Structure 1
Amino acid sequence: MFLSETAIRRPIFTVMAMTALVLFGYLGYRSLGVNRFPDVDFPTVTVSTVLPGASPEVVESAVTDVIENELSAIEGVKHITSASRLGVSTVTVEFELERDIDIAAQDVRAKVSAVAGQLPRDAEPPTVDKLDISAQPIMWIALMGPDPQSVGEYARWTLRPRLQTVEGVGNILLGGYREREVRIWVDRGRLEAHDLTAGEFVQALQEQNVEVPGGNLESGARETIVKIQGEVPSVEEFGGLVVAYRDGAPIRVRDVARVEDGLEPARGAARYNQQTTIGLGIAPRSGANAVAVAEGVHERLEELERTLPESMDLQIAFDGSESIERSIADAQYELLYGAFFAIVIVLLFLRSWRSTVIIALAIPTSIIGTFGFMSAFDFTLNTFTVLALALAVGIVIDDAIVVLENVYRHMEEGRDPREAASVGTDEIALAIIATTFSLAAVFLPVAFMRGIVGRFLFEFGVTVAVAILLSLLVALTLTPMLSSRFLRHVETRRNPAYAKIGQSLDWIEARYKVGLDWALEHRGLTMGIAGIAIVVGLVFFVLLPKELTPQVDESAFVIASEAPVQASLAYTNEKQEALEEIVAGVPEIQGFFSAIGLWGGANQGFMFVRIDEPGERDRSQEEVMNDLRGRLAQVPGVNAYVSSMGSAFTAGGDGEPFQYLIQGPDLEALRDHSETLMARLREEVPGLVDMRTDMRLQKPEVRVEMDRDKAAAMGIDVSNIADVINVLIGSQEATIYKEGGHRYDVRVRVEEGQRNQPADITELAARTEDGGLVRLGNVVSLSEGTGINVINRRDRQRAIKIVGNLEGSSLGEAVGAADRIADETLPDGYSTAVTGASETFQETFQSLLFAIFLAAVITYMLLASQFESMVHPFTIMGAVPLAAIGALGLLLVTGMSLNLYSFIGLVLLVGLVVKNSILLVDYTNQLRARGMERDEAIRRAGPVRLRPILMTTLTIIFGVSPIALGFSEGAELRQPMAVAVIGGLTTSTLLTLIVIPVLYTLMDDGVAWAGRRIGAIRRHGWRGAWTPAHPEP
């Protein structure tokens, strides 16, 4: 072969080329970023619109429906989901992955701008944002101190600005932060006694606190700006502002209200390890290196701690970069251990240090060279690319093993090393090109899978393919060149230390010859056994639990809590503290960040919990979570749901794996159907826990209804009444106070004791047309009831979502049960759908099954092209189903599931088992081409190819064994893939060495029979060819 001949003839050129490849890879490695996952754009855009004070029903009809109707016409829309809450509409548009997200976002903005004129007059302009999962916080910092106001000010104006200057830092969230606010508490009785309304009071404040430009003064060549200082210089002076005159006497703010320099009203709280705190969530910029960002933040915190006020304490509550670094480092160690084990296997088989070193050089050359291409493709070191490299370790030496083994065989036949390297490489070149390209080809469907999972797997597929193709280059250049220079004759292999190994291999070869002879004499029975094995594999497929991804021990999880929907913040806080007390008593707990009301209603809370690393605790994360579920359930008046951190493959939302939608027109009916479904699921799928829905119909509300006739007679309209209620009950921003370069809201609200009960609304006063005051009780009536907390829709239909966690049951089992129950119970007009992780699960399994099919088709096409045969590719690919029994069986025995990662292992097996078959069939064809009879060629080819097949198989098995053992962090994700590869290779290799030769003879007989029939048809016609009068020649 020209390439290998050139490498042998020009060793310096070959060494320099390989050195350049390694240097290119090293430089690429230094520039690679480190992240947990690849940088993937979720094709999702959100539109948020605020309509102050509007009920969910009004928001749905006046805002959500209008926006959804306009957005549904945009090209490439996959789903439109919406949530209509009190005063807020959120519409989320998920696009097909083929659409460019930036162009799609522009289309959304254009449509929203076009429809803005149809929204209510009071609606604020809608905001449009792209979803960026990389912008989620990777760190949470807890700042604690005795004075909430000073802690908040320090976090807002000192810590956050300093941290935002760290390279790569994007947004910084403030959890538990309450903005400083000047609060003016109005006494309702004193306001009325001085003949003032709320609107007049607010208007007077605005007029008394202004900064007005006064123009310019010109004097000759000099110009001076005149500025009228009308702003209030200090908080105390707000009390002296005049808001009205009565009988010539000024009425000041202090006469009707009190002024407080405080914080905005509490709608939430945050604590770290049961201490009140301000949480700072550090989110990296899109595309930034998460680990580098975290390192920069740590360095900046060390600087800030030197100037931190003595009364304050600063702690890192959570650092996601630590688990990223550990996971990547552990995967790299798995790569090194796998390489070591693979090299040991080579040494045991070849019993030569020289040959082992020659083969071992393929690993660093191929792997390091791959780093250069990863950098060129703008990839990062992440879970998937490191997994690809760890997987490739046992594969990249396969070609070198086959080449060197063949070179050795020719040396044993008497050729010198240089001639053996040339002839041996040329003889095996076609086979290894076919095997390598077929193996690389199976990853193309994975790299270009549809769905969001396909985007994550793109870097994985390309990285594996590049490493494999580079290994082919090494095997055809560096390996033969080194073999021609450094190999010695076989006497070196007869070292007494290796005698027993050699005897064992000879014994295996002898037993194999006996088995092969028996199989060739009992072809029908052999194929029958193979058929039974395939059927058993199908049974294993049915029995295996199915899920999107395995549960991972991340040493962290979340606890969501929910009090009754009408619960106040104080009630929820009391219950959250009771939950925190239980969590704090768990021995494995390192720390926890707790919050209520910050990212939900006043009745909702969550805890982010960190536990000891796996090596430092006796119980698994799942056992700790299950224990907490039981303990937290004992707290009355609140529901607590313990969940893992969630999947990377879902665009935000709930982290629970089970997410199921019921859609229909009536909200009450949706609630009833969801309760029925959940009750049945609890009975039939006990492993489905923490189930709840996202709809609440018991939110208490007070409806203010106006007597329009009375109001008209008094000259009061609806807007006047709404203004009065909004100012004194809802709190209105009246003006701005400036201090130290910062701006703070000044808000007016009635005293707390005068706005506790619904009846207090009727005591408020409004100005009549004749200038008098009248209590609202004269023109309005109140009614109390319950209202809808949120109205959710999907694809313009009202929907209710059921979510839950899995404890001992698979996602496939839960979804299947839900579908069956829904078919039995839902009436016409109501439908179901999966969403979130459940939807990704279904889409991914469909894509993976298609990827396996496509990999098989591509492999067939390559083999047909290589062998110029339409038949032999079927013979070669006959080994693929033989791998199923081992892969699926070992997954079942080890208690693992059929998931994304085990499916990747199955895809890989398509290429790996074909490699062994190619070696066997290709050499058989070569022997027959030299004139050897078919059965004799098979009996010769099997033993000759036995050792390289065993070597390549064992190097792959031992190369991935560190992954299968699962000792590292995040190994739960990688284990199923390695287990599938080990099981599949074990059974397929044992069966391939026996079944493929038999299948080869059967296919060959079939081709011969078909050829004879076709010849007879040509000679005697269709009918004559099948009559006894014309026997076969």
Structure 2
Amino acid sequence: MNLSRPFILRPVATLLLSLALTLLGTLAYRLLPVAPLPQVDFPTILVSASLAGASPETMAATVAAPLERAMGQIAGITEMTSTSSQGSSNIIIQFDLSRDIDGAARDVQAAINAARSLLPSSMKTLPTYRKANPSDAPILLLALTSSTLDKGQLYDLASSKLQQRIAQVQGVGEVSLLGSALPAVRIELQPQELSQYGISLDTVRTTVANATTNLPKGDLSGDALHWWIEGNGQLTQASEYRDLVVAYRNGTAVKLSDVAKIYDSVQDLYVAGYYNSQPSVIMGVTRSSGANMLSTIDAIKAQMSVLQEMLPPGVTLSVAMDRSPTIRESLRETEGTLAISVLLVIAVVFTFLRNARALLIPAVALPISLIGTCAAMYLLDYSLDTLSLMALIIATGFVVDDAIVVLENISRHLEEGATPMAAALQGSKEVGFTVLSMTVSLIAVFIPLLLMGGIVGRLFREFAVTLSVSLLLSMLISLTLTPMLCARLLRPHDSQAGATSNRLYRGIERVLDWVGRSYATSLAWVMRHKRLTLLSLVLTVVGNLYLYTVVQKGFFPDQDTGMLMGQMRADQNTSFQALHPKLLAFSKLIQQDPDVQAVLSATGSGGFGSRNTGNFFVLLKDSSQRKQTATQVANRLSMAAAGVPGASLFLMAGQDLRMGGRSANATYQYSLQSDNLDTLRAWTPKVYAVLRKLPQLTSVDSDAQSAGQEVKLVIDRKAARRLGLNVEDIDTFLNNAFSQRQIATQYQTLNQYYTILGLAPAYTQVPSVLNELFVLNGNGDPVPLSAFARIESGNAPLSVAHQNQMATSTIAFNLADGVSLPQAKAAIDAAVVGVGLPTTIHGSMQGTAKASEALVASMPWLILAALLAVYIVLGMLYESWIHPITILSTLPSAGVGALLLLLATGTQLTVIALIGILLLIGIVKKNAILMIDFALHAERERNLAPEQAILEACRMRLRPILMTTLAAFFGALPMVLQSGGDAGLRRPLGLAICGGLALSQLLTLYTTPVVYVYLDRLGTATGRLWRGRRPSDPARENR
């Protein structure tokens, strides 16, 4: 049966079919969304809760723990982490990839409602949730600056006008505001005056709360007219509060201004933000799960002019950091790599064919296959990203193979004297099964990857499907368009005439003839020393096992996204007043670096950190304008920042792919978990101290901050009771005095604002002032705190972390040069055993380290599964137990070549390099298929002996084998040689393919015929015992 015959005989239909495929692909290419990586986000939901004045331990116990217990019953949760700091708790819930984010959000809302009764009654608002991961890098940072407005007014503009408008853009997950707080009326009480007048703090709170209300007042309705009733019950400015009467003493009104300072300010005084050292309100935009990054950024930037018009004069909204230029530049580099690969493959084909007519045929087949793949990508809702473009780059060396095999066989018939039409019909018929075998067996390599779960399976499914579609289209075109073009374009003896008329052509032909003669001579020697050849094959198998154990392994190559993220951390007892200058010092230091384009920094509660930390976002110049990668710049800046006393700076290159919900100051994470927070706090510093000494680790850092100073008021309950006080009275007094309590709400058109109550700054700076304060008892008598309580100093955590409801501390680290993660893991395990942790504490890798561990453990199984899949497919195609083994015998040398080149270049065996090794399984076996297919045909059709058949196959198929191998090699070579932002992501794939092809091409040309002869003898011997041997093998029946 000749599948190509109807297409050869119907050229118009064949051309129109190819044209339609090209047009569809071109249209789809223009419609494909653009992204840095395939959309593989874990469905993630952030739950936030706040309770003003609560300590981290209180937040963890009374807010985070009840919510975690309620949400821990939701199906599909893979990880739940929480961080509780002063006055706030953030819980990040990460779901399985198969979980629908909207359904998960409904379950989270139900869990919040179920936990409502367990939450503190003093919480003014219920916890809220968003479908976003705050640990993800922001896709866009906007800076709001002004020369006329203060930061509170700027924040109000951002919160009331800009934040909601941006959040409504399709794809936006969260818009967070950093650098300031909403305007507020602050009331700073003077304790001495209050004590003099006999007025309690709670009296002031109640008076202010009752003086500013916004209750509905009803309406009047007559026979003809209707009136709404309104009043002036709401106070909005500080000046309106000053004349409030708090109490009467001796017939004289005591006004609020007599006992307090009232002024317009902001809700949180301990917040700061800067854009290039200029005071600024920063707006960080993260995308929602599954949203396209570039589409979201473009949609926001399209609104910039409208947003600017909403602002008053003197206020500027700037794009401080934008990921889209870096992503687009990376994709342009990848597209450039693709174009170079196409040109190199065409050059390889031209070198062998040396005929313009013959060259035109694969030169047409190649772009049609690639362009047509875009149509399938669009239908499958894929994006044009780095991995899908890498698939197309690799496909350039693959898709031309089928056309080369068909073209070369048809050309051989032409040289033997057949007409173009007869040569096309006969040649395509002979190799149709070969083309099918090569394509199907190559696609079989991806079957285990397509079935693989988790982040790796989801991430590379798009890569595998894209490459498989291009291979299927290549097979379709090679069996339809290619033979049709051969029948119309090729002429008898054209190649010979062209070759003899050009000196270059004659030189190439002489080189190819010499290669053919040398190969034939060396092959004859190899066939006389078959056992030695088999020994070399065994050595390559052993070499694979050894090299696999020594090569460094990792998870995902580091990307250069043009952005750095990091954190400044001061000493744990540092106040905001002392922290602020350090934040500015770090900002100026970073801004002066020649590789930095912009720097944004924020500190305080608005910066999602504890009081001694600050967040940094650094935008680097384009990779073409700097000599170092983002990681190198980050390391250099971190070292330079060591000159700032009392604080440390941790910077890392931003990555598009991150694992786990908790952020850290280094790449890898080791987590300690316990059900007892005190035990964990006691042992974490010991483990941290030991790990810091390990030579295998660098940049070791712990998020455990348990040395914050705490002032504990130890109450003598009997003495307090005797003085007319109870514990609730005392707690209420402390809450009113020190928690920045929100005692009233001002409802305005666009937003709501609070009135904040507290003591004057002179009474909130040192613990000794507690001895100067008085609490009014039920009789209105002032009672000094020192009369019934004593002050004790101690340590308290600045934040409390949970993971899966257990108290957790995380130690982050990077790897020293030349150290692999398994080596580091072994060193960590040994060090932790030496510490002697109690059984109540459990240590484990988390985040990227955990994902890398799982990948390393699955690598051998994934390779074995790919080999088994290929064997099954080949066995079905050839109806043989033996021949698939012959074909697979070509693979060990490819593995050795790939691993050797990775070792030589110091490249880790990451998931990208693993994909390259899996691809080698499909590439290298093509050589064996070309040989074995021809040998089997010669045995059956011409009754040749196996050794004679395989020798003739090697000689006859040498050129197409060289062509296909070199096409694949040069198709992958640009990924090795090119530089740029994402070159580090592409290089491991190119190295694995080029290294494997270089060595396997040299060895398999000799090992395959030897293995074929030996296994043929084995097949003949077992065939006599196997009654079901194939009757269609007359060569073996006659031997």
Question: Which TM bucket (shorter chain)?
Answer: over 0.9
Change (3 A) 1:875 1:840: same
The aligned amino acid for 2:715 is M
Check the 8 A contact 1:443/1:464 in 2, yes or no: no
Deviation at 1:283, TM superposition (A): 3.3
The aligned amino acid for 1:819 is D
Encode CA deviations 1:146-172: one digit per residue, 9 max, x unaligned. Answer: 433443344344554565566655533
Deviation at 1:908, TM superposition (A): 0.7
Deviation at 1:517, TM superposition (A): 1.3
Q: 2:779 aligns with which of 731, 746, 770?
A: 770
Check the 8 A contact 1:561/1:606 in 2, yes or no: yes
Q: Which residue does the alignment assign to 2:578? A: 571
**Structure 2: runs of 5+ lacking an equivalent:** 1028-1038
Deviation at 1:10, TM superposition (A): 1.5
The aligned amino acid for 2:762 is G
Cα RMSD (Å): 2.8
Check the 8 A contact 1:453/1:649 in 2, yes or no: no
TM-score of the aligned structures, taking structure 1 as reference length? 0.93
Change (3 A) 1:110 1:311: closer
Deviation at 1:338, TM superposition (A): 0.5
Deviation at 1:639, TM superposition (A): 2.0
Change (3 A) 1:451 1:218: closer
Structure 1 range deviating more: 874-883 or 663-672:
663-672
Q: Which residue does the alignment assign to 2:651? A: 642
Q: Which residue does the alignment assign to 2:417? A: 414
Structure 1 range deviating more: 515-524 or 106-115:
106-115
SS at match of 1:141: strand
Q: Which residue does the alignment assign to 1:933? A: 945
Distance 1:790 1:936 in 2: 77
SS at match of 2:286: strand
Distance 1:473 1:630 in 2: 57
The aligned amino acid for 1:336 is A
Structure 1 range deviating more: 95-104 or 820-829:
95-104
Q: Where do residues 403-482 of structure 1 align in structure 2 (5 Å cutoff)?
A: 403-482=406-485
Distance 1:227 1:31 in 2: 56
TM-score of the aligned structures, taking structure 2 as reference length? 0.92
Q: Does 1:353 align with 2:356?
A: yes
Q: Which residue does the alignment assign to 1:601? A: 610
Check the 8 A contact 1:658/1:814 in 2, yes or no: no
Distance 1:885 1:309 in 2: 66
Check the 8 A contact 2:134/2:286 in 1, yes or no: no
Q: Which residue does the alignment assign to 2:398? A: 395
Q: Does 1:821 align with 2:796?
A: no
The aligned amino acid for 1:948 is P
Distance 2:527 2:642 in 1: 66
The aligned amino acid for 2:799 is V
Q: 2:977 aligns with which of 965, 977, 992?
A: 965
Distance 2:219 2:627 in 1: 78
Check the 8 A contact 1:442/1:855 in 2, yes or no: yes
Distance 1:872 1:743 in 2: 77
Q: Which residue does the alignment assign to 1:519? A: 526
Q: Which residue does the alignment assign to 1:975? A: 987
SS at match of 1:397: helix
The aligned amino acid for 2:523 is L
Q: Which residue does the alignment assign to 2:929? A: 918
Q: Which residue does the alignment assign to 1:718? A: 727
Q: Does 1:291 align with 2:302?
A: no
Check the 8 A contact 1:374/1:380 in 2, yes or no: yes
Encode CA deviations 1:371-407: one digit per residue, 9 max, x unaligned. Answer: 1111111111122212212221221111111111111
Q: Which residue does the alignment assign to 1:1027? A: none
Distance 1:789 1:232 in 2: 36
SS at match of 2:4: helix
Q: Does 1:861 align with 2:872?
A: yes
Distance 1:792 1:920 in 2: 62
Distance 1:133 1:563 in 2: 22
Q: Which residue does the alignment assign to 1:658? A: 668
Change (3 A) 1:295 1:490: same
SS at match of 1:633: helix
Deviation at 1:312, TM superposition (A): 4.5
Q: Which residue does the alignment assign to 2:30? A: 30
Q: Which residue does the alignment assign to 1:944? A: 956
The aligned amino acid for 2:870 is T
Q: Which residue does the alignment assign to 2:764? A: 755
SS at match of 1:587: coil
Q: Which residue does the alignment assign to 1:630? A: 639
Deviation at 1:865, TM superposition (A): 0.5
Q: Which residue does the alignment assign to 1:703? A: 712
The aligned amino acid for 2:28 is G
Check the 8 A contact 1:551/1:972 in 2, yes or no: yes
Aligned length: 1015
Deviation at 1:342, TM superposition (A): 0.4
SS at match of 2:644: coil
Distance 2:146 2:376 in 1: 50
Change (3 A) 1:215 1:43: closer
Distance 2:75 2:700 in 1: 36
Distance 2:83 2:898 in 1: 44
Encode CA deviations 1:836-886: one digit per residue, 9 max, x unaligned. Answer: 110011122333432222111111111000000011111111111120111
Change (3 A) 1:619 1:170: closer
The aligned amino acid for 1:13 is A
The aligned amino acid for 2:765 is N
Encode CA deviations 1:499-550: one digit per residue, 9 max, x unaligned. Answer: 1111111111111111221111111001112222332333332332211122
Check the 8 A contact 1:174/1:280 in 2, yes or no: yes
SS at match of 1:547: coil
SS at match of 1:689: strand
Q: 2:999 aligns with which of 987, 1000, 1003?
A: 987
Encode CA deviations 1:746-802: one digit per residue, 9 max, x unaligned. Answer: 112221112222233344444422344433333333222111333434445443321
Q: Does 1:733 align with 2:736?
A: no
The aligned amino acid for 2:339 is L
Q: Does 1:138 align with 2:139?
A: yes
Encode CA deviations 1:972-1006: one digit per residue, 9 max, x unaligned. Answer: 01101011001111111221111011001111112
Q: 1:540 aligns with which of 547, 555, 560?
A: 547
Check the 8 A contact 2:153/2:182 in 1, yes or no: no
Distance 2:750 2:583 in 1: 37
Distance 1:482 1:571 in 2: 78
Encode CA deviations 1:259-291: one digit per residue, 9 max, x unaligned. Answer: 211222323311122222221223345544432
Q: Where do residues 295-314 of structure 1 align in structure 2 (5 Å cutoff)?
A: 295-301=298-304, 311-314=314-317
Change (3 A) 1:972 1:178: same
Check the 8 A contact 2:561/2:655 in 1, yes or no: no
Deviation at 1:52, TM superposition (A): 5.2
Q: Which residue does the alignment assign to 2:793? A: 784
Deviation at 1:191, TM superposition (A): 2.4
Check the 8 A contact 1:421/1:481 in 2, yes or no: yes
Q: Which residue does the alignment assign to 1:248? A: 251
Encode CA deviations 1:24-81: one digit per residue, 9 max, x unaligned. Answer: 2222222211122222241444555545555444555555555555555554444444
Encode CA deviations 1:449-474: one digit per residue, 9 max, x unaligned. Answer: 22222222121111111111111111
Q: 1:893 aligns with which of 891, 899, 904?
A: 904
Distance 2:134 2:516 in 1: 55
SS at match of 1:922: helix
Structure 1 range deviating more: 961-970 or 185-194:
185-194
Q: Does 1:847 align with 2:858?
A: yes
SS at match of 1:692: strand
Deviation at 1:248, TM superposition (A): 3.5
Structure 1 range deviating more: 210-219 or 457-466:
210-219
Structure 1 range deviating more: 161-170 or 181-190:
161-170
Distance 2:309 2:76 in 1: 53
Structure 1 range deviating more: 222-231 or 835-844:
222-231
Deviation at 1:82, TM superposition (A): 4.1
Distance 1:789 1:430 in 2: 69
The aligned amino acid for 1:470 is L
Check the 8 A contact 2:710/2:794 in 1, yes or no: yes
Q: Which residue does the alignment assign to 1:325? A: 328
Check the 8 A contact 2:334/2:389 in 1, yes or no: yes
Structure 1 range deviating more: 655-664 or 178-187:
655-664
Q: Which residue does the alignment assign to 1:4? A: 4
Change (3 A) 1:161 1:189: same
Q: Which residue does the alignment assign to 1:996? A: 1008
Change (3 A) 1:53 1:611: closer
Deviation at 1:623, TM superposition (A): 3.8
Distance 2:287 2:195 in 1: 53
Identity over the aligned pairs, expressed in percent? 33
Distance 2:508 2:831 in 1: 60
